[in-house]
Amino acid sequence: MKIRYIDGNRFRTAIVAGAKRVFERQDYLNKINVFPVPDADTGTNMAATLHSVVDTVSGLELIPIYDSSRRVAESALMGARGNSGVILAQYLYGLSEELGEEIQISTKQFGEVVKRAVRYAYEALSQPREGTILTVIKDWAESVDAYAQIKDDFVELLHHALEVANRSLQATMQKLEVLRRSAVVDAGAQGFVDFLTGITQFIAGGKLREIFQYHVPEISGVAHTEVALEDIQFRYCTECMIEGKKIDLKTIRTQIENLGDSIVLAGSRHKARLHIHTNEPAKVFAQVRAYGDILQQKADDMHKQFRITHSPHPPIALVTDSACDLPTDFIEEHGIHIIPVKVSFGLSTYIDKITITPESFYEMLDTEADHPKTSQPSPADFKNLYSFLLSHYESVISIHIPEILSGTYQNALNTAREIDPERIAVIDGKSLSIGLGALVEKAAKMIAGGQKQADIVENLKTATGDSQLFVAIPNLKYLMRSGRVSKAKGFLAKVLQIKPILRLDENGAIQHFSKAISWRKAADKLLTISCDFARGKQNPQFKIAHANDRQLADRYAKALKAEFGVDEIQILPVSPVLGAHAGNGAIAIGISWSEA
């Protein structure tokens, strides 16, 4: 049966069909990813971009094609990840712009639109490179436009154009030397061809389920690359959405071009998606903030991704959230994956510890008009991370902030059940900051020691009862602002100069434990309480976390070393996501112990 016109519903369903083909192929796309950086996440990023589209448009009745294309473009832009994902989103945005107000379109109209939309993709890049997804988009679009002049059937038209796209895909190996040496095609270009394949099969068959009837190539390992870790000049694959009234894309590109490479800037004067490889995400966002609110910040560590992909590592991946405070060197040494909690000042949202540092956070805490708010990682955040890790590890152990305090644990658990509950173990850490850090540290050492996942999980569930955290807070105004303490209680405490000392119960819930009149007495009392508690434990070990008071932390460490004869005590800044509630000057002592 010939198909002479495409309306909004057929367009929407075809896009979903193409997306589902990419979902099935994402592991393969990850493994052939060597350009622009061999970080093996192209499949994960393109799938994440298209998941946003599918989640938005599935099931909607969108009769006019202009309505359907705009919904697709908006959701792709909102969910775009990675170099190729942002380019694809920009191309879909170009399609929506060029469609105008059409209700349905013929093959000839379609050919004109897809060809005109190519320039949007090219203009989004500061340095377009041929032999990538850009080239295949261009070759496919030009073939559609040319063939549409003589054919009025979409089935024939798309089948012919797909053959052209496949030839263009194979030619990428000759256009980029890094692809030729690795004997692979460009992963982003392959992802686009997979997307087109799903669309073409749906248009020809008319049934969404038919897109699953194809062979997925097996690949035993990641593609060979001659790139070394030290060759990756910029560490963070950094992205955000910008929403404002007058976003000047050209000026932004000029202002940030000296901060990194692989710059892609997609969207309009009101909403834009930024992608850049940089060593200084915080500086990038500081420049961009002048043009509007910064939303959906992301900064993936490409050095870590490279090591996962191209270097030996244990079979178990370890994940925690940024409410866990651990030394950076330890995190690096053990390859711990941190899924960030978000911190927002007004409408601008930052990635805990990456695009906002503890130092800058505490300065903003006292100078910004808006009190910071925190938000847990979304199911999509967990889905993206778990999907990537399972393509490189046998299993995952994921340890998080207490369920009683945050929905982070539940989001992790639900996502694990959806993806692969046999390979992903999610554990309620039942502690915060350095207390959570002690549990994650224990897990990392057991993984490094070669223990099996089941044994580690069982050990960790027991170990949650082998630590305690005591916290002193000098000022309740931050807890009042965050809603954790009522204004009446906060006012009374202020008048009476009451400084609370808190602890965590066996489930990780915050309890009032003691109090003092004046901060000096509270600080002394915290140390006394901690010492009294530790004396009743065997082999006590200590960690100290502070919110902008290193001097007091050093005093505690000196006293604890003298009292208990311990050689080393970690001193760490409190994560901004916790500092938003505890405020400037808060300090905590974490105690863990063992029976052996």
pTM: 0.72
Which amino acid belongs to residue 389?
L
Looking at residue 173, what is its pLDDT?
93
Give the span between the Cα atoms of 409 and 367, in whole angstroms. 32
Angle made by CA atoms 245, 247, 248, in degrees to the nearest 5:
145
Which amino acid belongs to residue 509?
A
Put residue 131 in one of left, alpha, beta given phi > 0 → left and psi -120 to 50 → alpha.
left
Give the span between the Cα atoms of 169 and 137, in whole angstroms. 10
- Whether 269 and 247 have beta carbons less than 8 Å apart is answered as yes
Looking at residue 434, what is its pLDDT?
94
Looking at residue 330, what is its pLDDT?
95
Q: Which residues of the chain have pLDDT under 50?
A: 208, 210-219, 482-496
Sorted by where each starts, the structural domains of the chain and their CATH numbers stand as 5-212 (1.25.40.340), 231-301+342-375 (3.30.70), 311-339+387-465 (3.40.50.10440), 467-592 (3.30.1180.10)
Query: Please, is 547 exposed, middle or buried when counting C-beta atoms within 10 Å of its C-beta (0-12, 13-18, 19+)?
Result: buried
Burial 444-478 (b: 16+ CB within 10 A, else e): bebbeeebebeebbeebeebbeebbbbbbbbbbbb
- Around Cβ 538, how many Cβ atoms within 10 Å? 8
Looking at residue 293, what is its pLDDT?
87
